[in-house]
Structure 1
């Protein structure tokens, strides 16, 4: 028996933002879907507006699986994960072991197809997934602040600063043209 897809299905049980009071919970399955949508959008923007040649489908697939290892490790809160370089490096090693364990749950003939999803070889794919991951975190902050939860004020500033530091024109374009809508109510969107 191969358990890979049964484990992937369990992404919905891993909650994010564990150290924060949340007005609504978010699991890594929901998060991964949002990151895939955002990463795909960033890839399309790169290609259509900024002369890129990245495979938007590969970007979306990598985003779908970008947190798959957390099925086995859980979601490590950002303040702990980035507390110091030694912890970050150790956690990266744990993530790699978890991803390898997941890949070992596949029949050998399927493993190469999923290996690239979990470990993208193209640095552009990885760059866009990271940008979309940070954008997704920022959107969560915006939605929490919109709900009156000031617990996310500092995280919103940190995620905005991290996106500024990325200096990606497609990310800046998305933030200028699409991100403001996330602050609006449903009635204001019409």
Structure 2
């Protein structure tokens, strides 16, 4: 059987994010997914090492790598539209679910049971950390755009920071306290 799954996955790099905003540095879904995987892994490690958690950081990182895979088929819907009202949000979740199933069925049958929980985020704690990492990635993007002088991201940065602080996840608070300020620094200041 021939499978198009990984050929589709490689097309994540063609899906642009932040479509409604002027960007100083464009970002695609593949770049974003990598960053979310790194951040989700870090959040899982922080949870385990600082807060006595028992979550598998590898499973969290893998789920994060694929968290936006459905956007290969749906495109990236801008957040202000996606979350504008419950009807749109519900409809988009249904579209995402259809896209996830379509991607899953591109795999050979013998691999589908392995990828099903990865593509559909079956474990709620894994999903929670991936969602937090996704929001953290958005916040980092906002901070980097502001650092580049792009005030277009000022309100998004404030709203995203507030959302992160409201998650009630100590590993997110730890990350914000220990690591976030570095994203505002220049390369020379990071020395």
Superposed, 1:64-103 pairs within 5 Å as 64-103=65-104
TM-score, with structure 1 as normaliser: 0.99
2:161 paired with 1:148: no
Deviations 1:128-167 (A, max 9, x none): 0000000000000000000000000010011111111101
* Structure 1, gaps ≥5 residues long: none
Q: Which residue does 2:42 correspond to in 1?
A: 41
CA RMSD of aligned residues (A): 0.5
* Structure 2, gaps ≥5 residues long: none
Q: Which residue does 1:23 correspond to in 2?
A: 24
After alignment, is 115-124 or 98-107 more displaced?
115-124
CA distance in structure 2 between the aligned counterparts of 1:92 and 1:121, rounded to whole angstroms: 15
Instruction: Give every structure 1 segment of 4 or more consecutive aligned residues whose post-TM-superposition deviation is greater than 4 Å.
Output: none
Cα deviation, residue 118, structure 1: 0.9
CA distance in structure 1 between the aligned counterparts of 2:186 and 2:28, rounded to whole angstroms: 23
Q: Which residue does 2:187 correspond to in 1?
A: 186
CA distance in structure 2 between the aligned counterparts of 1:120 and 1:151, rounded to whole angstroms: 32
Q: How many residues align?
A: 190
